[in-house]
Amino acid sequence: MADTEPPIFTSAGVPQTSFGQAGRGPRLFSGGGRGAVAVSTASTIVVLAALAALFWLAPGSAAVRHTFFNPQDMWNSFIGDPKAGYYSVGAALWLNIRMFLAAEVLILALALAVAVVRQSTSPVMFPLRVVSTIYVDVFRGVPLILVIFAIGFGVPALNLGFVSTQSAAVYGVAALVLSYSAYVSEVYRAGLNSVHQSQVAAGRSLGLSHWTSLRYVILPQAVRNIIPPLLNDFISLQKDTALVGILGAIEANKAAEIYSDTVFNYSSYVVAAILFLLLTIPLARFTDHLIARDRRRRLAGAPA
Amino acid sequence: MSTAETVPADGSSAALALRIEGLQKSFGANRVLDGIDLSVASHEVICLIGASGSGKSTLLRCVNLLEPINAGRIMLWGQDITRPGIDQNAVRRHVGIVFQSFNLFPHMTVLRNITLAPVKALGLARRQAEDEARALLDRFGLLDKQADYPDRLSGGQQQRVAIVRALAMHPRLMLLDEVTSALDPELVAEVLDVIRELASGGMTMLIATHEMGFARDIANRVCFLAEGRIVEDSPPAELFSNPKDERTQRFLRRIIDAGRL
């Protein structure tokens, strides 16, 4: 049989697509040969040149470049000058990073608890299930900015001593956690559902308790399946820390706003935008790396 | 393997391992098991045969308490394991089950697959559990696979690991649910050899299978299931050469026509 096979599917005869060799998977920059590389390079240059020309030749180009992309203003806003009345956007970003890190850890924990409660079937858990469901419905439905307002201005007004005397950043993190946990719990739930029932049966059949089985068998597989959507939410979270500025916390966006209010130049916002990009892009690459490493390890075998 | 000989103190009646009485199980309106009665003595090997959908798998899953039953009861060494308030996890630690689709944990190495339950459910020290696991792997020619992830193994190797994983809990009863049905033909033998070795070591087993030749070789008794009932329960020589029930005769004729016996 084998020697009479038509040559269509042998390596010599496979028509190469622009996604590269079979087995290597689609790759962004790999072409189907020299010709394809030349074509994609040329077309990229043409498109970029056209966009640049449009920008430079637009009637208001000079004004926009001065207002948004002024190198001197960008530098000034980046390093800040307290005597001139504005803060360093770069230093303020540190607050975004801290809020993000704190919120991320809390969200991972709270969202998991909510997801597990909603997935439970025991009658004992019924009241908790109702509370969790209402929580998710409410906090997915209310705009984040309103949650930030409600917590940031409402909780201090309650005069609850310690609870009411926290900084704006703390209330901001609390609002972010409440809002994002509702979303992330749904991501977790999808992950838990994606683990096949036979894995549940295998765990239980070995005499593992419900919680042990969840902890060692189901959750690790669920989390692997949801790393990309989870990361997507965290990239979004990194950016949304900028919203906490409305409570008066001096984070990057607020610092940029103060600069533009002081100097009447918007270049500070571009600096903030670039800084946020510098945060999010590495996070995206890191996730790709995690996914690839996990797949390699499972297919290649590795030391225990 | 000599774990099956530890009969409980109250093991009154000549070590009856398993006794099923009037077992009924429905999924919605579909009655899958319709009054099963079955007794298995210690060290006995029982093969369950029958068409797909006759209830073999469901019966095994009920014995492992993976499915709640609707009526009847299941006794394990004299203890009713279907009564309310029974510690299901404790029961499952004594009853190993191996599935058609292996169901290994894909995110764990072979060794971790095997040691997870002994460490987390029996409270064994990790080192001791690993030593025992390696001994079992060695016995079944799998020691060099201990650090591999299941995706890297052949179907036959995965199924043998699944059997080792169940054995690591020192079960007193093994349930095998069509363990060779998902395997390529050339991989079936290596798994059947493992089961033969367990049988010769005295393991009490309840085996749902489509491998008629294997059932004839290994079983003390063969039960033919149809429409949720055991319609025939006899020694293999008798059931295969002289089936009494008309449904058994039809089933075996189809198997023979398909060249499977």
Q: Which domains does chain B have, with CATH numbers?
A: 15-257 (3.40.50.300)
Rounded average pLDDT over B99-116: 95
Which tops the pLDDT comparison, B118 or B185?
A: B118
| pLDDT per position as a tens digit, B39-52 | 999 999 999 999 98
Rounded average pLDDT over A7-24: 43
The pLDDT mean for chain B works out to 90
Q: Is the pLDDT of residue B65 over 90?
A: yes
Q: Is the pLDDT of residue B213 over 70?
A: yes
Q: Is the pLDDT of residue B201 over 70?
A: yes
Q: Is the pLDDT of residue A10 over 70?
A: no
Percent of chain B with pLDDT over 70: 94
Q: In this complex, do B117 and A217 lie within 8 Å of one another by their Cβ atoms?
A: no
| pLDDT per position as a tens digit, A232-257 | 899 899 999 999 999 989 999 999 99
Tell me whether residue A282 is exposed, middle or buried, using C-beta atoms within 10 angstroms of its C-beta: 0 to 12, 13 to 18, 19 or more.
Answer: exposed
Q: Is the pLDDT of residue B76 over 80?
A: yes
The pLDDT mean for chain A works out to 86
Q: Is the pLDDT of residue B185 over 80?
A: yes
> According to the model, what pLDDT value does residue A30 have?
54
Q: Is the pLDDT of residue B14 over 90?
A: no
* Token couple for B116: 């997870």
Q: Which amino acid appears at position A190 of this protein?
A: A
Q: Is the pLDDT of residue B258 over 90?
A: no
Domain definitions of chain A by residue range: 1-57, 75-300
| DSSP secondary structure of A111-171 | HHHHHHHHH---GGGHHHHHHHHHHHHHHHHS-HHHHHHHHHHHHHHT--GGGGG--HHHH
Residues with Cβ < 8 Å from B49, sequence gap 6 or more?
Answer: B56, B208, B209, B210, B212, B215, B222, B223, B224, B225, B251
CATH topology of domain A75-300: MetI-like fold (1.10.3720)
3-state secondary structure of B45: strand
Residues in chain B within 8 Å Cβ distance of A208: 89, 116-117, 120-121
Rounded average pLDDT over B9-16: 55
Residue A13 Cα, gap to closest chain B Cα (Å): 30
Q: In this complex, do A304 and B111 lie within 8 Å of one another by their Cβ atoms?
A: yes
Q: Is the pLDDT of residue A36 over 90?
A: no
Rounded average pLDDT over B212-216: 90
Q: In this complex, do B103 and A299 lie within 8 Å of one another by their Cβ atoms?
A: no
Q: How far apart are the first and last CA of chain A?
A: 42
Q: How confident is the model at residue A7 (pLDDT cuts 50, 70, 90)?
A: very low
Q: In this complex, do B107 and A298 lie within 8 Å of one another by their Cβ atoms?
A: yes
Q: Give which of B92, B100, B103 to mutate to test A binding, by max A Cβ within 10 Å.
A: B103
Q: How confident is the model at residue A17 (pLDDT cuts 50, 70, 90)?
A: very low
Q: What is the ipTM of this complex?
A: 0.85
Q: Is the pLDDT of residue A4 over 90?
A: no
CA-based diameter of chain B, in Å?
55
Q: Is the pLDDT of residue B204 over 80?
A: yes
Cβ atoms of residues A247 and A168 within 8 Å: yes
